[in-house]
Amino acid sequence: MFDVLNKIADFGIVPVIKLDDAQAAVPLGKALTDGGLPVAEITFRTAAAEEAIKLMSGTYPEILIGAGTVLTCEQADKAYAAGARFIVSPGLNPAVVKHCIDKNVPIVPGVCTPSDIETALGFGLNVLKFFPAEACGGLAAIKAMSAPYGNVKFIPTGGVNESNLNAYLAFNKIPACGGSWMVADALIKEGKFDEITRLTREAVTRMLGFEMAHIGVNEESADKAMAVAKMFASVFGFPIKDGNSSVFAGTGVEVNKSVGFGKHGHIAIRTNGIQRAVAYLKRNGVQINDASAKFKPDGSMVAVYLQEEFGGFAIHLLQA
């Protein structure tokens, strides 16, 4: 169960899909995969859901497929038999929750009140769908309820879009968001799968937010590092900040006091979510030097290097 929930967190976005025609599931699966987001929640709002899950999971076994809007134990059984690996419901039906737990099927029930949360905790669940998110107070409501329920994580769905996605994901109690803007019903019905790929890729790019943070220069000693930093300061007026292992000139140039990673030095790439960025890069064949990772005392990753150098520079990701 936890493996599936961890994978959902690695994706960060779960496309919530309504399909009237099961045959659209295969090109839709390709569109999501090409867009860099091989995960889907296919809702039981239509009669095509079961067959759609079966077709998508059979054609693209690498896609993490869940079944949404599951209201009955029978629907849960059909979804799981068709290939769904997790169940999502709009509310918390104790009978459906118990049924899934008894069968060791991951379920993320919907909640929007403290009473809902306490019922879920009674079943041993602490990753919950917050629905309908925006209508129930959005991020402010989640933050308020997180105070007394510190061990609960929420997947907000309903009103989440490209403009508020990162605000939600920046809160550490939100491992992922559900959204449908990249898989809009009209786009699917009109067969605009290239547009779905574009919107999906755009959503992933916005979520990860890769951007240049600084460039690092290797030097052999503290004195040499300070001398180089002072050159930048004298020419460009950058302020100097002396640290334990390096000297910064402004925010864009770091001069190491000893030779570190990279033939020439390193380039730091900032990202909105380093754990999601690592998962994304690994899915796309980029090797990560896991041994180089640095963490905060709370266990959250703040930096990690890629295995390969780019033009003699090591590349490291930096949590924004």
pLDDT profile of the chain (320 residues), mean per 10: 89 98 98 98 98 98 98 98 98 98 97 98 98 98 97 98 98 97 98 98 98 97 97 98 97 96 96 98 97 95 98 97
CATH architecture of 211-319: Roll (3.10)
Instruction: Give the active site residue among 41, 50, 134, 219.
Output: 41
CATH code for the domain defined by 2-208? 3.20.20.70
Q: Which helix (H) or strand (E) holds 199?
A: helix 193-208
What's the CA gap between 207 and 201, in Å, rounded?
10
Q: What is the pLDDT of residue 2?
A: 67
Q: What is the pLDDT of residue 1?
A: 66
Distance set, CA 157 to CA 84, 138, 210 (Å): 19, 9, 25
Instruction: Give the active site residue among 30, 78, 129, 153.
Output: 129
Q: What is the pLDDT of residue 88?
A: 98
In 182-283, beta strands by DSSP E: 211-218, 240-242, 246-249, 253-256, 265-271
Q: What is the pLDDT of residue 101?
A: 97
Q: Does 7 participate in catalysis according to the annotation? A: no
Q: Does 129 participate in catalysis according to the annotation? A: yes
Tokens, residue 213: 């943070």
User: How much is the pTM?
Assistant: 0.94
- Domain ranges (residues) in the chain: 2-208, 211-319
